[in-house]
Amino acid sequence: MKQAIVLAAGEGQRLRPFTVTRPKAMLSIADKPILQFVVESLAQNGIRNIIFVVGYRKEQVYDYMGSGEQFGVDITYVTQETQLGTAHALSQVKDMAENEFLVLPGDNLIEAHTIADFMQIKPEAVLVKRVSDPVRYGVVNIDGGEVKDIVEKPKEPVSNVVNTGIYAFTKDIFKFTESILDIPDALNNMIAEGYTIQALETEGTWLDVVYPWDIISLNDAVLRNIEVSLGGTIESGASIKGKVMVGEGTVVRSGSCIYGPAVIGSGCDIGPNVCIMPATSIGDNVVISPFTEIKNSVIGNDVTIGAGCIISDSVIDKGCVLKGRFTAVGGQSEVRINGESPSINVGVIMGEDCNVESNVTAQPGVIVGNYCQIQMSKMISGRLPDKSLVY
């Protein structure tokens, strides 16, 4: 199999505020977009012919991924003008598909060896995985290695084996995508018509990002596999322990401690006397002032964090300015999104270009929209819409 079709048209409304300004596939994990991980996994398996189905804010995918040359692949783009579903997205490439091809979601974290196992199977086939929370996914009923049906988000799942959204198809799939919106429905119709759909279970890494706090767990998973790479300047008296990546032009100042796994981007100014704990990713051009501690968090590009801040279990998007003594620590919380209220352990979820004055405390689970302004000595909780002013 030499061709892959990557579905990257979706918005991901449950991931707001982060997807207000970018498609779900372009969310950054460990300082690079999820979509880049997918492409790199395909390239490592010798798949160079890649078609992207794009839609929502597609120009961001064009600008970042380009022709694919920098990743060693050849990318072609097809637009799904209205995001109606995965089968509808796939039908857009009917005239460009080879006789056999892979289909992958562009917004799931997929390791190269996960795809390698699946490439050995003959179409038609679906990659499945056992998960702890099957109600979030399509549950696959399997008998003797064959798919019997797929039930989307069942209230009472019959098993914990779910559909990863990774498929091996022949062009026969297009007979079933004309009037169907989603691929699992097309597969159920294929089975009803007598087709055999094989199921291959993987133990490899496959992680979906459904809610904003899923970014934290994906980031943790990626960081476990990084290699040590120390660019920039590590001043005398700074301590680096474990697997840490530091980008070019970054300065880690004296008295600072970085405990891996952690990634710090390029052009950053860290410290002095800053503590970065494991499972933390720092973007490019980030300034972190003295006596600040950050752990198990994702910090976007161009963020400025003042002195004496404590941040854990949090995601802070690009361009935010946090003045001194900002506190956001993880704790149990129920956050309501699109009628769903999962119980989670999370600090703050903060959209881009927010300005937070000194001595602000964020209650666990608070979601701060994009472009918000919060004046000093406030306690924030719940959900703040984009462009909120807290005074």
Q: List, for residues 266-285, the tens digit of each pLDDT value.
A: 999 998 999 999 999 999 99
Q: Which of 210, 238, 270 is the last residue of a domain?
A: 210
Residues 164 and 247 reside in one and the same domain: no
Residues 318 and 254 reside in one and the same domain: yes
368 in a structural domain: yes
Q: Which of 185, 210, 235 is the last residue of a domain?
A: 210
216 in a structural domain: no
What is the reported pLDDT for 338? 61
In this prediction, residue 11 has a pLDDT band, given cuts at 50, 70 and 90, of confident
In this prediction, residue 153 has a pLDDT band, given cuts at 50, 70 and 90, of confident
What's the rounded Cα separation, in Å, for the pair 188 and 197? 9
Full residue range of the structural domain in which residue 268 is found:
222-390
The better pLDDT of the pair 169, 342 is held by 169
Q: What is the pLDDT of residues 158-171, one digit of tens each?
A: 888 899 999 999 99
High-pLDDT (> 90) share of the chain, %? 55
217 in a structural domain: no
Q: What is the CATH number of the domain that holds 344?
A: 2.160.10.10
What is the reported pLDDT for 158? 82
What is the reported pLDDT for 116? 86
pLDDT above 90 (res 211): no
Query: What value, to the nearest 5°, has the Cα angle with vertex 367 and ends 358 and 283?
Result: 70
What's the rounded Cα separation, in Å, for the pair 273 and 237? 10
Residues 235 and 109 reside in one and the same domain: no
Residues 159 and 274 reside in one and the same domain: no
**Exposure of 59 by Cβ count < 10 A (0-12 exposed, 13-18 middle, 19+ buried)?**
exposed
Domain count, the chain: 2
What is the reported pLDDT for 145? 86
What's the rounded Cα separation, in Å, for the pair 123 and 100? 7
Residues 116 and 230 reside in one and the same domain: no
Residues 261 and 165 reside in one and the same domain: no
Residues 329 and 194 reside in one and the same domain: no
pLDDT (mean) for 350-363: 96
The better pLDDT of the pair 124, 344 is held by 124
Q: What is the pLDDT of residues 236-253, one digit of tens each?
A: 999 999 999 999 999 999
151 DSSP β-pair partners: 139
Residues 205 and 290 reside in one and the same domain: no
Pairing mode, strands 315-316 and 298-299 = parallel
Q: What is the pLDDT of residues 79-102, one digit of tens each?
A: 988 878 889 999 999 899 899 999
Residues 168 and 246 reside in one and the same domain: no
In this prediction, residue 157 has a pLDDT band, given cuts at 50, 70 and 90, of confident
Q: What is the CATH number of the domain that holds 184?
A: 3.90.550.10
Q: Which of 210, 236, 268 is the last residue of a domain?
A: 210
What is the reported pLDDT for 205? 80
What is the reported pLDDT for 30? 84
Residues 251 and 151 reside in one and the same domain: no
Pairing mode, strands 125-130 and 198-201 = parallel
pLDDT (mean) for 152-179: 87
Residues 118 and 42 reside in one and the same domain: yes
pLDDT above 80 (res 108): yes
Residues 143 and 274 reside in one and the same domain: no
Distances (CA, A) of 251 to 231, 233, 234: 9, 5, 6
CB neighbour list of residue 310: distance below 8 Å, 6 or more residues apart? 292, 293, 326, 327, 328, 329
